[in-house]
Amino acid sequence: MCSIKIESVVKEKNRMGECPVWEERENALVYVDINSQKVCRWNSVTNEVHSVSVDARVGSVALRKCGGYVIALGTRFAFLNWETESVTTIAELEQDKPNNRFNDGKVDPKGRFFAGTMAEETEPGVRARRQGALYTLFPDYSVVKQLDQVDISNGLDWSLDHRTFFHIDSLAYAVHAFDYDVHTGKIACCKVLYQLEKEEQMPDGMCIDAEGKLWVACIDGGRVIRIDPETGKRIQTVKLPASRITSCCFGGKDYSEMYVTSAYDGLDKAALATEPRAGEIFKITGLGVKGIPQYSYVA
């Protein structure tokens, strides 16, 4: 086994750090702080964090082929121009669901942006059920609803052969696998791939590695777990120095580093006192496996 090393690389704490994306052309990690309504970029060379504030909770960010980013914020898809800090709306959804917002999202192998919605809590612990959906933003800016009646649309990725789509609905406490048609972008035939165990708590973000195994961030479980989609078994657990682990991605010059986001929102004063690293971003090295480059939205 390689010796695994975990270090905190972004000390600027996030209320709800999410959706890390490695941007090769900038040597940077791009991510969102949902509850602070910010898109952030950490430069791995200078160690500086720059952020752009937006006017709604931003659930996800992805690279655009032509530069800048595509984001899912509030209940709309938009482009973010990093230099001018301008946001251009491309599609508005779920106007009839004022308590909903976008959550996690990712670009598929053909350059389409997938992102899902969820209902916000109306008071602590109170959330309308099955209000969310999963959408695909196509390169022509058209939007297709892929799934309905989702609780909290969360982590997502595609198998290396592009024939399977993996998706997490957090309140199902499971990872699901769908048949995926890479040519049309359509998903079908859902099955449960992995049901989380009690101590793993709730699944959040997810990414795939170069061996085709899935890594799932466990919010309130303080860990990422590695799952073999062939067997549906957990094959590795890596515990982190924060409980609210939200998402993960591979990055660095050869994609051998894993970056893991976390949150401090949801922790009370007593918990915060025992978790000085809550909300920071961690880098895991020595996993002995690499990731694959992120896809970019083609338009």
Which of the residues are catalytic? 204
What Å distances lie between residue 74 and 35, 56, 59, 95, 249, CA to CA?
A: 11, 5, 8, 10, 23
The span from the CA of 203 to the CA of 230, in Å, is 19
Query: Considering only CA atoms, which of 217, 257, 258, 222 is closest in space to residue 240?
Result: 222
The span from the CA of 277 to the CA of 118, in Å, is 27
3-state SS assignment for residue 257: strand
What is the total residue count of the chain? Answer: 299
> Is residue 103 a known part of a binding site?
yes
Tokens of 252: 């660095």
What Å distances lie between residue 196 and 87, 97, 121, 145, CA to CA?
A: 37, 30, 23, 27
Tokens of 157: 């990725």
Residues 214-228, buried b or exposed e (16+ Cβ, 10 A)?
bbbbbbebbbbbbbb
3-state SS assignment for residue 198: helix
Phi and psi at residue 172, to the nearest 5°: -85, -10
> Is residue 268 a known part of a binding site?
no
> Is residue 92 a known part of a binding site?
no
> Is residue 83 a known part of a binding site?
no
> Is residue 18 a known part of a binding site?
yes
* Bind-site residues: 18, 101, 103, 121, 154, 204
* Bind-site residues for substrate: 101, 103, 121
* Bind-site residues for a divalent metal cation: 18, 154, 204
